[in-house]
Amino acid sequence: MLLPLVAAATLLLAPALAVFSDEAWTVDYHFALLGAPKEETSFFHRPNPSSKASLIYTLSEEHALGAVNPRDGSVVWRQLLSPGRDAHNASFLRAGEGEDVVISGIGSEVAAWSAADGKLVWNLNTEGPLEDVEIVELSDGKETAGAKDAMTLSSGSHPTVQRIDGASGAVKWQYRIDGSDAPYQLSASSTQVFAILLHKTILGYVKLRVVALDPVTGRKTDEYTLSSENELATAENIISVGANSASPIIAWTDAAHTTLKVNVVGTKTISSFNIERHDDSAVERVRLHAPYHVNSLSHFLVHYETATSHWAEVYDIDLKNSKVDKAYSLPRVAGKGAFSTSTSDANVYFTRVTRDELSTVSSASHGVLGRWSLSSFGVASGIGEQVEPLHAVSEVSVKGDAVSAIRTTVLLSTGDWVLLRDGKGVWNRPEMLAGTVAVTFAIPANAAALVQQLEVEAHSNPVAAYIHRVRRHIADLQKLPSLLVSMPQRIVKGFLGTSADDLTGSDTFGFRQIIACATRSGRLVALDAGHPDRTLRNMEVADLKPGQSWRPSLSSSKDGVIQLSSMAGAGVDYNATDGQQLAESLPILPDEPDLATSNTVQYTMRGNSLEATYEYNPSWTFTPMHGERILGLVPRPVNDPVASIGKVLGDRRVLYKYLDSNVALLVTAHDESSKASFYVLNTASGAVIYSNVHAGVDLTAPISSIMSENWFAYSFTNEASDDASKGHQLVIGELFESLIPDDRGAMGAKSNYSSMQTDTEPFTLTQTYQIPEAISKLAVTRTRQGITSRQLLAVLPGSNAIVGIPYGIVDPRRPTNRDPTKDEQAEGLMRYTPVLEFDPKWYLNHQREVVGIKDVVTSPALIESTSLVFAYGLDIFGTRLSPSFSFDILGKDFNKFQMLATVAALAVATFVVAPLVMRKQVDQRWRFL
């Protein structure tokens, strides 16, 4: 009898334990991104010689270095190198065969990283910017076992070649190159090291100067200039210098791409080949793919590309007489293609990825060793857009005459990085999102109508709102038949507790908004906030040429339309729901970068002064003091609902907030005196309503600021001085009409109030906190009606985290030097302490590292308690926050099954017990009779 009871109890207990389980990893999402991998800095490599499985290493356009597990696409480790650099800066990543380190080069820094876990082994700065980094496959007999040396070529005032000890990072020798020629690249053959320099002739052409060095001593053994007969107009026509190989080559074409010239470095013979034309379109790009190992066969592949098609030719080099011969051709195929080179012992394999096929050939013969058809890459793209492969790297294993296994990662024109195993898609990393520069939340069409209805109800009197609501529900009845049809499904889903995540159903809570991201590469990517792992759309919206950039800005309207505008182009509207382009709106072409827009005011920087424009009419100008520069301006958000105009005190009296939609916080810096100034401006009149200056500010550290409701916050870093150490500060200020409760100060007397009058200055309360680390960006949660208390969101670049500080904790009304009174306690105010430690519960990211976050955007959900949060930069992180807890929704911890089970159990109990009780009662009555 007891046993089934215990069993039943355990059954009911198991779900009960889940009540307190964290909602992390269910309501939030995180993409640990790297950015678009570069072709020349991506490869498969074994993290150490004993491991069987290789990882994919890459140094991306965002300068993130990392290792990705080819099995599932997860990041094994990553390091963000020099976050300040632009994508066009040269960067290098090399790994020697059988090495357990990878060596990166960027700017003037060379560094070796443990391939297994990404720990820094050594780093070294060269005198000038790096032009090339290579691994020396030739031993000088002095290496520590297992660590191959690295070689660098740097430019600057003293172009230098250095050999660096692979184990310690010590410089073994260095060779200074004389003359004013520009260093270009390093190559190594099996006996020599070559530095290749570009020599400008009087006529403006380029000649190649080659300096040969002894790899052991670093002494010059030879030097010569290749006569390229005035055909090399610019360095851009050089297509490759093979790095490590038995016979390194250098190849170039003429400006019109009609002939290909190849020279085996170390010899003076130049082989010349005509570039065939397959149709009317001209060859636009020539690329060269060659193995990177000294002991590989000296074969290489030349890849020709026109606007509409591509093809390739394979060449081999006769090592005895350094003669280059064409071996065979790979046929022309429409669209773009990607070629990758893999080696296995001495054998070289070329893998080709086209729009619809993957194939592998050996460098020795044109027989296809493996062929797989690709139906599509399975990624979201624009309407009618053709997805093209841009570049690829492969790992091939060949048994006999056929490929037994092949893994290929391909960067697609959509910015997705995919892995194909034997031609089948295994994973997809949305690397285009690492270059997100502007974001907006938009409401999908099905929710937009409801939002509008709710707004009408919120802004009318209670009776009208009630009538409106009844009408809305009557209108909803029309949907009843379709609702009834889907009822059984909904009940099952509701029973399992999955209804909030239903992909097709309605979204009653407003969690499934569309997040539109504009990327640096000119694309607009739409994500579903409820299902962020599925990209809804990814379309090209700006046609950018290499080296071009744009500065997009995004906004959305209540009817589900996304407005995209950029400094360089017209504003375009898109339907957030289906991605269709709507009519083009007015072109927005400001001549200078504007800082921000709020309500109808647009702020523009002119020189070093700030100009505010009202509907295209200049209204006022703010010129900072001499020597000051404007760092930033944050206006109060356009849509910033406030539920109450006052703060109710513990004794039921009211402090009136200074609420003006035309306020903005301006930050300026004075470099000479290391001062930072913060001004709260009335943006209608240009009047300064609050200002503060901080001295001894480290102006190289981030300064962040935010303005919302009737308060502002900013943070900065103090420079270390004689009497204080370096510290980070957070300042919160709140503006009130008057500091006397139940008094509206000067404004109370006026029934009419205008922003243009400046005699009504607010009273400001501020408090300063010492915080443990710098904040690079501040944001604030937003809810539909502003009733829910706020959280201040702070990005902490030092610990790769985002914290949500409850506003109550930093309320400037916290009493100083005394304990709070009973009334203050009732308000939740604590005694002021100058040090603010970040509570571990405030970390939105939990134990994940969110790297490179540049901005955080928030949006209200349909229910009042919840704010949606989306952070971007390098990583993407999103979550839902309920700063005052979920008072209007049953949380995930609410166990429907348990509740229904309890109800059922009670019903059964009632049925069973009721007759018994009845009988007992009847019996009792009879007994007393």
Ligand X SMILES: *[C@@H]1O[C@H](CO)[C@@H](O)[C@H](O)[C@H]1NC(C)=O
- CA–CA separation, 498 vs 494, rounded Å? 6
Contact call for residue 88 and ligand X (CB under 6 A): yes
- Residue 380 burial class via C-beta count within 10 angstroms: exposed 0-12, middle 13-18, buried 19 and up: buried
Contact call for residue 86 and ligand X (CB under 6 A): yes
Least distance from C-beta 182 to ligand X, angstroms? 12
Cβ-based neighbour number of residue 286 at 10 Å: 18
Least distance from C-beta 537 to ligand X, angstroms? 12
Q: Judged by CB, which is closer to ligand X: 55, or 448? A: 448
Residue with tokens 């097709």: 504
Q: Judged by CB, which is closer to ligand X: 129, or 169? A: 129
**Region 269-298 residues binding ligand X, contact defined as CB under 6 A:** none
Q: Judged by CB, which is closer to ligand X: 578, or 651? A: 578
Q: Judged by CB, which is closer to ligand X: 222, or 578? A: 578
Q: Judged by CB, which is closer to ligand X: 271, or 513? A: 513
Q: By CB under 6 A, which span of 352-360, 571-579, 764-772, 826-834 interacts with ligand X?
A: 571-579
**What count of Cα atoms within 13 Å lies in the side-chain half-sphere of residue 211?**
25
Among 443, 445, 423, 265, residue whose Cα is nearest residue 354: 423
**For ligand X, what does the binding mask look like between residues 511 and 550, x meaning CB under 6 A?**
----------------------------------------
Among 97, 559, 719, 827, binds ligand X (CB under 6 A): 559
Does residue 596 contact residue 630 with C-beta atoms inside 8 Å? no
The three-state DSSP-derived secondary structure of 492-557 is: HHHHHCCHHHCCCCCCCCCCCCEEEEEECCCEEEEEECCEEEEEEEEEECCCCCCCCCCCEEEEEC
- CA–CA separation, 133 vs 91, rounded Å? 9
Helical pair 896-928 and 2-17, crossing angle rounded to 10 deg = 140
Least distance from C-beta 172 to ligand X, angstroms? 28
Contact call for residue 12 and ligand X (CB under 6 A): no
- Kindly provide the residue ranges of all beta strands, DSSP E only, lying in 760-814, ordered along the sequence: 763-771, 777-780, 791-796, 801-806
Least distance from C-beta 545 to ligand X, angstroms? 15
Q: Judged by CB, which is closer to ligand X: 582, or 740? A: 582
Among 575, 581, 613, 800, binds ligand X (CB under 6 A): 575
Least distance from C-beta 288 to ligand X, angstroms? 22
Cβ-based neighbour number of residue 98 at 10 Å: 12
SS3 7: helix
Q: Judged by CB, which is closer to ligand X: 448, or 779? A: 448
Q: By CB under 6 A, which span of 83-91, 97-105, 427-435, 830-838 interacts with ligand X?
A: 83-91
SS3 865: coil
Q: Judged by CB, which is closer to ligand X: 586, or 756? A: 756
Q: Helices H, strands E: what count in the chain?
A: 7, 61
Least distance from C-beta 446 to ligand X, angstroms? 8
Among 751, 816, 817, 847, binds ligand X (CB under 6 A): 751
**Region 686-705 residues binding ligand X, contact defined as CB under 6 A:** none
Least distance from C-beta 550 to ligand X, angstroms? 17
Beta partners for 238? Answer: 252
Q: Judged by CB, which is closer to ligand X: 445, or 465? A: 445
Least distance from C-beta 585 to ligand X, angstroms? 13
Residue with tokens 């610019």: 234
- CA–CA separation, 252 vs 6, rounded Å? 81
Instruction: Lay out the sheet containing 101-106: strands in order across.
Output: 91-94, 101-106, 109-114, 120-125
Least distance from C-beta 576 to ligand X, angstroms? 7
Interface with ligand X (CB under 6 A), residue total 15
**For ligand X, what does the binding mask look like between residues 416 and 455, x meaning CB under 6 A?**
-----------------------------x----------
Contacts of residue 923, defined as CB under 8 A and 6 or more positions apart, other chains included, come to: none
Structure tokens at 163: 């050999």
Give the H or E element holding residue 319: none
Q: Judged by CB, which is closer to ligand X: 463, or 583? A: 583
Q: Judged by CB, which is closer to ligand X: 573, or 824? A: 573
Q: Judged by CB, which is closer to ligand X: 12, or 198? A: 198
Q: By CB under 6 A, which span of 395-403, 418-426, 559-567, 885-893 interacts with ligand X?
A: 559-567
**Region 37-66 residues binding ligand X, contact defined as CB under 6 A:** none
Q: By CB under 6 A, which span of 293-301, 450-458, 514-522, 574-582 interacts with ligand X?
A: 574-582
**Region 90-119 residues binding ligand X, contact defined as CB under 6 A:** 107
Tell me the residue type at 496: L
Least distance from C-beta 86 to ligand X, angstroms? 5
Residue with tokens 């005509």: 274
Among 561, 794, 810, 871, binds ligand X (CB under 6 A): 561
**Region 627-646 residues binding ligand X, contact defined as CB under 6 A:** none
Q: Judged by CB, which is closer to ligand X: 79, or 108? A: 108
Contact call for residue 761 and ligand X (CB under 6 A): no
Least distance from C-beta 740 to ligand X, angstroms? 24
Q: By CB under 6 A, which span of 120-128, 226-234, 555-563, 719-727 interacts with ligand X?
A: 555-563
Structure tokens at 53: 């499985």
Instruction: Lay out the sheet containing 801-806: strands in order across.
Output: 777-780, 791-796, 801-806
- CA–CA separation, 323 vs 821, rounded Å? 93
The sign of the dihedral angle between the CA atoms of 743, 746, 752, 756 is: negative
Least distance from C-beta 458 to ligand X, angstroms? 22
Among 77, 85, 97, 421, binds ligand X (CB under 6 A): 85
Among 58, 57, 130, residue whose Cα is nearest residue 90: 130
- CA–CA separation, 76 vs 465, rounded Å? 55
Least distance from C-beta 695 to ligand X, angstroms? 30
Rg (C-alpha) for the chain, rounded Å, is 34
Least distance from C-beta 748 to ligand X, angstroms? 14
Contact call for residue 578 and ligand X (CB under 6 A): yes
Among 104, 240, 577, 879, binds ligand X (CB under 6 A): 577
Q: By CB under 6 A, which span of 70-78, 556-564, 733-741, 854-862 interacts with ligand X?
A: 556-564
Does residue 793 contact residue 708 with C-beta atoms inside 8 Å? no
Q: Judged by CB, which is closer to ligand X: 556, or 577? A: 577
- CA–CA separation, 550 vs 369, rounded Å? 44
Q: Judged by CB, which is closer to ligand X: 452, or 621? A: 452
Q: Judged by CB, which is closer to ligand X: 89, or 768? A: 89
Phi, psi of 887 (to 5 degrees): -80, -15
Among 509, 433, 452, residue whose Cα is nearest residue 871: 433
Does residue 195 contact residue 153 with C-beta atoms inside 8 Å? yes
Least distance from C-beta 91 to ligand X, angstroms? 10
Helical pair 896-928 and 480-496, crossing angle rounded to 10 deg = 90
Least distance from C-beta 167 to ligand X, angstroms? 29
Cα–Cα separations (whole angstroms), residue 460 to 122, 289, 450, 788, 864: 67, 69, 16, 21, 18
Which parts of this chain interact with ligand X (CB under 6 A)?
84-86, 88-89, 107, 445, 559-561, 575, 577-578, 751-752
